[in-house]
Amino acid sequence: MKAAVYREYSKDPTKVVKIEDIDIPKIKPNEVLIKVEAAAYNYNDLWGIWGEPIKIPLPHISGSDVAGTIVEVGSDVQKLKVGDRVVSHSNLSCRVCYECTSGREFDCSDRLVWGFQTGPLWGGFAQYTHLPEVNVVKIADNVSFNDAAAVSMVGMTSWHMLVGRAKIKPGQLVLVMGGGSGVGMVGIQIAKLYNCTVIATAGNKDKMDKCLEIGADYVVNHREADWYKKVREINKKLGQPGVDVVFEHIGKSVFPQEVALLKMGGTLVATGATTGYDSTIDLRYLFFRGTNLLGSTQGTKAELEDVMYWVSKGKIKPVIDTILPFSDMVQGHVMMAGAQQFGKILTTPQKL
């Protein structure tokens, strides 16, 4: 089979990521073999190629989001069969520890992100891949492989942030930072599914306009120095003392202002820090206002199933920027590094 392999780390993906011929993987008794029809890019694909912030197994196949058809099942597989249309659940955990059996597999001490931390040669950017049965979710016939791959990780992550952790309620005012990102686009749609008022932020006018197209009620440019003042102006217009929930993944450059924008008892839920980790906050906002600061990472298989249900009902619509043939798939890594796309970048391993 064809697979996108790199055998050394580099800041330039075009120098190390090559399409190679390797053997189709042999599955374990609890696994299924998937013919990959679509695979989506994530920022962790770049981290893997860079070897930062952690070193990952080499040689490596990246790719944590795939959708396709099951072509073989292991002897212990019970709920899936050959021919099922499926999408990957990339959170690999032990499933037997206290955290896992409490429904918190994302907190498992043995957790690995499939396609990022796994290997050698175990990821989604290949014509065939394998996963444990417990890490595969069926998709409805009316959900395309492209849409399923595009929404799987970002959808599950966003659902866990807003529904699982922040526990949003109808009528709340939600600030979705980085609305043009993968998680941000789904975050906007989940908040609207819950009948919330959404203020989104984005880094340029094109992305701002597209945030409005997918459901945001208001949008501001978070690259402007006074972006938070514009959010406050919207609050005043709405007669609100602050926002109920901040959906955060940008980090250092905006974190102090985000905390200050929360109303009494408001909640900030964070899943990343792309501009840096070493932020500061005024602790008076924490204890005088009863602020809730929540961390969030990945999500449960059940949360991915919730997302895929709403995709099948047309209430969450994956946004796709570019679909690349597999022979040109390394350009997806280049695009990710440039961060100019709006929507997910996909590659189609069966189409060279």
147-182 pLDDT per residue, tens: 999 999 999 999 999 999 999 999 999 999 999 888
- Hey, what amino acid is at 32? V
Q: Is the peptide bond before 120 cis (omega within 30 degrees of 0)?
A: yes
Q: Return the CATH fold of 2-138+319-348.
A: Quinone Oxidoreductase; Chain A, domain 1 (3.90.180)
What predicted TM-score, i.e. pTM, was given to this entire model?
A: 0.94
Say which CATH superfamily domain 156-295 falls into: NAD(P)-binding Rossmann-like Domain (3.40.50.720)
* Type of residue found at 254: V
Distance CA(6)–CA(3), nearest Å, equals 10
> What are the tokens at 27?
């599955």
DSSP states of 253-308 = TTHHHHHHHEEEEEEEEE---TT-S-----HHHHHHTT-EEEE--S--HHHHHHHH
Element (H, E) at 219: strand 218-221
Question: Does 271 score more than 80 pLDDT?
Answer: yes
What pLDDT does 340 receive? Answer: 74
pLDDT of residue 236: 96
Residue 277 has pLDDT above 90, yes or no: no
Whether residue 38 contacts residue 94, with contact meaning beta carbons closer than 8 Å, is answered with: no
pLDDT of amino acid 175: 98
Residue 222's pLDDT is: 94
- Map tokens 């949360």 to a residue: 303
Tell me the three state secondary structure of residue 58: coil
Residues 346/150, Cβ–Cβ less than 8 Å: yes
Whole-number Å distance between alpha carbons of 115 and 189? 26
Q: Do domains 2-138+319-348 and 156-295 have the same CATH topology?
A: no
DSSP per residue, 1-33:
-EEEEBSS--S-HHHH-EEEE-PPPPPPTTEEE
Query: 198 forms bridges with which residues in the sheet?
Result: 174
At 334, the pLDDT band (50, 70, 90 cuts) reads very high
Average pLDDT of the segment spanning 219-238: 96
- Separation of first and last alpha carbons in the chain: 12
Q: Where are the domains of the chain?
A: 2-138+319-348, 156-295
pLDDT tens, 29-81? 999 999 999 999 998 999 999 999 899 999 999 999 999 999 999 999 999 99
Give me the residues paired with residue 295 across strands.
270
Q: Are 50 and 9 in contact (CB under 8 A)?
A: yes
Q: What is the pLDDT of residues 289-327, one digit of tens each?
A: 999 999 998 899 999 999 999 999 999 999 999 999 999
Region 249-269: mean pLDDT is 94
pLDDT interval class at 232 (50, 70, 90): very high
